[in-house]
Amino acid sequence: MKKEKNDNHLAIGIILGSSFGVSLGFVIGSLIDNLPIGLAMGPAFGMLLGIIIASLIAKSKQDEKDEV
């Protein structure tokens, strides 16, 4: 499979998960009143959100490319 220039949503998801995951973990931990579980779940949710957002960005770029 040929790698496209905008096929980097996994890397963006990992970067977002590692950078914003801890702060997201603090929020989750404070909401469920259990900080260790929140810190364990935070990076995973951060990576998931990052991959979803980056996939949507890549899809919109691909749609623009297909229209031309």
Q: Enumerate the domain spans of the chain.
A: 9-67
Q: What does the pLDDT read at residue 2?
A: 56
Q: Return the residue matching tokens 């229209």.
A: 67
CB 2 within 8 A of CB 32: no
Per-residue pLDDT of the chain (68 residues; tens, 9 = 90+): 555 555 577 777 777 777 787 888 888 888 888 888 888 888 888 778 877 887 888 787 777 777 76
- The pLDDT of residue 7 is 59
Q: How far apart are CA 35 and CA 32, in angstroms?
A: 8
Per the structure block, which two tokens stand in for 52? 């979803």
d(C-alpha 35, C-alpha 25), whole Å: 8
Predicted local confidence at residue 5, as pLDDT: 58
* pLDDT (0 to 100) of residue 17: 72
pLDDT for res 3: 56
